[in-house]
Amino acid sequence: MTRAISLRDVSKIYPRNVVAVDRLSLDIEPGEFVVLLGPSGCGKSTVLRMIAGLEEITSGELLLDGVAANDLAPGERELAMVFQQYALYPNMTSRQNIAFPLRMEQRLDDHDQRVREAARLLDIEQLLDRYPAQLSGGERQRVAMGRAIVRRPTAFLLDEPLSNLDAKLRTRLRAEIATLTRHLGVTTVYVTHDQSEAMSLGDRVAVMRDGVLQQVGTARDVYGLPDNVFVAAFVGTPRINLLSATVHAPLDGRMSIDFGTQRMLLPQPLSPDHQMLRLQMGREITVGLRSEAARIASPGAMRPTEALLNGVVQHVEYQGHESLVHVSTGARPARVDGLEAARGPARTRTRRAARAAAGLGQGALGRLRRRARSSVATLERPAEPAPPPAPASPIPSGRIADGLVLRAGADVQLRIGERVPLLLDLGQLYVFDSEGRRICPAPVGTPRLEG
């Protein structure tokens, strides 16, 4: 059996009005694998913990298979959670650790067969009689997964399960997790701040920032059509190049994008998307260009779908299969706040707003009492240390390096300081307005301007 999970306008406000999750709505289909992605402190774990029932929902509704579940005890939700810390009992063997939830539930059926079945799926049969101290990190995480699947849960909630592992093992285990959850057909919600993990794992990726859901879509959607500049910058390696610019649209001449030190002429006739840029005249815009969206080639080779910028080579990174060329264009790099936020400052609401959102006086006390009574048998884990307090420093800004980073062939021959023409593929040119919203390519449903 597998579960549909729906969050409707869900908020979480911690004491002192810390808004960890702000009116988040998300529908997860039965059997779907959804990744919650975002920088540290954006509220991903809080969402997962609210689904699990480990954290009370301040306002909004959680539905499991369409049935209101806010007040269900964790044990009644039939979900299994796996944490970043392996959380195995050190004095129990793998076999005992995996069987633990069954013992807690006092199931009378054959524990041993269920444990062997889980161990076989995870390829850890030979490790069943070892203690956690005798296992590697990857093996411990497999045992932790075993403990999650032994109960045959209706959904998995995985909170950065691989972040304690080295890069190679992480890549291998994430492929295993994808295969395993597909095989079991169980709904999975997976939390990570690692965008490449998110892109490779999920049916859909939900990008969060500062407690707010930014975009939900397939990996292809969030990479190819980011709704805003934050999503564009958070997803993709190397990070998208972001430049501050303005639109120059004289009545008697060709429209161009003005980067301050040089202008990029747009081809005539203007595409419908580029016509929309007229509306931005006089306003600051951000131009986004992924590293594969420009090539270094002579202007004579320019295609009708390309535009020209000039640059100077600053640095060439040889990567084996390709080179990353850093090119200065004199343009001003745009800044995006919160990209690397390491536990940013809590956003706070006024006391009144918080109270309204909290729905205090609407049975909050009752829910707390019920929770106090509830058993946490299915989501049990050894005591964890309290989360570290948030540092008082502001969210560091993700500073985009001065200069574009472009992909080139591995054997590209360039000198540092060499002037190079850059041919930009306009089909891959993103423009964001001063609020950070994508305006080009125009979002679906945007009314068109007449040429």
Ligand X SMILES: Nc1ncnc2c1ncn2[C@@H]1O[C@H](COP(=O)(O)OP(=O)(O)OP(=O)(O)O)[C@@H](O)[C@H]1O
Query: Residues 35, 41, 115, 217: which binds ligand X (CB under 6 A)?
Result: 41
Q: Is 198 in the site for ligand X (CB under 6 A)?
A: no
Query: Residues 32, 35, 37, 46: which binds ligand X (CB under 6 A)?
Result: 46
Helices within 85-228 (DSSP H only): 94-104, 111-122, 137-149, 167-184, 195-201, 219-224
| 15 vs 269 by CB, closer to ligand X | 15
Query: Residues 170, 193, 204, 248: which binds ligand X (CB under 6 A)?
Result: 193
**Residue 91 to residues 94, 134, 254, 345: CA-CA distances in angstroms?**
10, 11, 74, 39
d(CA 154, CA 387): 28
| 12 vs 95 by CB, closer to ligand X | 12
Cβ atoms within 10 Å of 119's Cβ, excluding its own = 22
| 20 vs 264 by CB, closer to ligand X | 20
Q: Minimum distance between the CB of residue 187 and ligand X, rounded to whole angstroms?
A: 20
| 44 vs 381 by CB, closer to ligand X | 44
Q: Is 44 in the site for ligand X (CB under 6 A)?
A: yes
Q: Minimum distance between the CB of residue 428 and ligand X, rounded to whole angstroms?
A: 30
Q: Is 240 in the site for ligand X (CB under 6 A)?
A: no
Strands (E), 198-347: 204-209, 212-217, 241-248, 256-258, 263-265, 285-289, 294-296, 306-318, 322-328, 332-333, 335-337
Query: Residues 26, 42, 243, 334: which binds ligand X (CB under 6 A)?
Result: 42
Peptide bond preceding 269 in cis form (omega within 30 of 0): yes
Strands (E), 263-401: 263-265, 285-289, 294-296, 306-318, 322-328, 332-333, 335-337, 397-399
| 224 vs 345 by CB, closer to ligand X | 345
Q: Minimum distance between the CB of residue 299 and ligand X, rounded to whole angstroms?
A: 46
Query: Residues 301, 390, 410, 416: which binds ligand X (CB under 6 A)?
Result: 390
Q: Minimum distance between the CB of residue 45 and ligand X, rounded to whole angstroms?
A: 3
Q: Which of residues 86-115 bind ligand X (CB under 6 A)?
A: none
Q: Minimum distance between the CB of residue 164 and ligand X, rounded to whole angstroms?
A: 13
| 395 vs 406 by CB, closer to ligand X | 395
- In this structure, what are the phi and psi dihedrals at residue 284, rounded to the nearest 5 degrees? -75, 130
- In this structure, what are the phi and psi dihedrals at residue 252, rounded to the nearest 5 degrees? -110, 25
Q: Is 215 in the site for ligand X (CB under 6 A)?
A: no
Please give the helix or strand (H or E) that residue 354 lies within, else none.
Answer: helix 351-358
Q: Is 20 in the site for ligand X (CB under 6 A)?
A: yes
Query: Residues 6, 11, 34, 45: which binds ligand X (CB under 6 A)?
Result: 45
| 26 vs 423 by CB, closer to ligand X | 26
Radius of gyration of the chain (CA): 25
Query: Residues 6, 34, 43, 290: which binds ligand X (CB under 6 A)?
Result: 43
Part of the chain binding ligand X (CB under 6 A), chosen from 39-47, 194-202, 279-287, 315-323: 39-47
Q: Is 212 in the site for ligand X (CB under 6 A)?
A: no
| 133 vs 167 by CB, closer to ligand X | 167
Q: Minimum distance between the CB of residue 202 and ligand X, rounded to whole angstroms?
A: 16
Q: Is 40 in the site for ligand X (CB under 6 A)?
A: yes
| 42 vs 408 by CB, closer to ligand X | 42
Pick from 237, 239, 181, 202: which is nearest to 3 by CA? Answer: 181
| 41 vs 441 by CB, closer to ligand X | 41
Contact by Cβ (8 Å): 169, 138? yes
Which residue lies nearest ligand X, judged by its C-beta? 45
Contact by Cβ (8 Å): 97, 131? no
31: left (phi over 0), alpha (psi -120 to 50) or beta: left
Which amino acid, one-letter code, is at 248? H
Q: Which of residues 162-181 bind ligand X (CB under 6 A)?
A: none
Which amino acid, one-letter code, is at 195? Q
| Residues counted in the chain | 451
Part of the chain binding ligand X (CB under 6 A), chosen from 44-52, 108-116, 236-244, 428-436: 44-52
Which amino acid, one-letter code, is at 131? Y
Q: Is 18 in the site for ligand X (CB under 6 A)?
A: yes
Q: Is 38 in the site for ligand X (CB under 6 A)?
A: yes
Q: Is 343 in the site for ligand X (CB under 6 A)?
A: yes
Cβ atoms within 10 Å of 339's Cβ, excluding its own = 18
Please give the helix or strand (H or E) that residue 27 lies within, else none.
Answer: strand 18-28
Q: Is 54 in the site for ligand X (CB under 6 A)?
A: no
| 56 vs 125 by CB, closer to ligand X | 56
Pick from 187, 149, 204: which is nearest to 2 by CA? Answer: 187
Q: Is 14 in the site for ligand X (CB under 6 A)?
A: yes
Binding site residues, ligand X, CB under 6 A: 14, 18, 20, 38, 40-46, 193, 343, 346, 387, 390
